Amino acid sequence: MGIEIIVSITFAALLVYQGGRRQKEAALDRFALWGGLLLFSAFLLRLLLGYYTQGYQTDIDTFKSWGRILNEVGFKRLYQQDIYLDYPPGYLYVLGLLDRIRLLLGLPEASGGYTLLMKTPAIFADLLCGWALLRLGRPRIGDRAALFVSGAY
């Protein structure tokens, strides 16, 4: 009779443990769902705004021309050109890559698609910051507050 009691208590303890674990997993799943929806919505909003709004025209046109010139003359002669160029080489690699993607896709330089393409590094940086706010904020300020702070960002 003693072994049955031990087995029953062990089984009950496992059920209670699993129930608590599932509650924790459900809370995690809800947070992941809401956080994912928030970041996905932010991504869609930024894509729409990036395509339909020009942004700061001077910067966008400058970035486009730097990418084009970089692909025409290469890095060796880029800084020797008679152009205004005050960015370090790191971001210029990104601009050159974006211009090559534009050429592969056959997008005109004045198209909204190319403007959106030029905005994608900033869009992904914003999403990464939003994710970091969710990830770092959750243990410090709680689920709802982390979602609010990330959404406000």
- Answer yes or no: is pLDDT of 1 > 50: no
Amino acid 75 reads: F
Across residues 23-31, what is the average pLDDT? 67
Confidence at residue 16, expressed as pLDDT on a 0 to 100 scale: 54
Distance CA 9, CA 71 (A): 72
Instruction: Name the burial class of residue 16, with classes exposed (0-12), middle (13-18) and buried (19+) by CB atoms within 10 angstroms of its CB.
Output: exposed
Report the predicted TM-score, pTM, of the whole model to 2 decimal places.
Answer: 0.73
Do the Cβ atoms of 116 and 108 come closer than 8 Å?
no
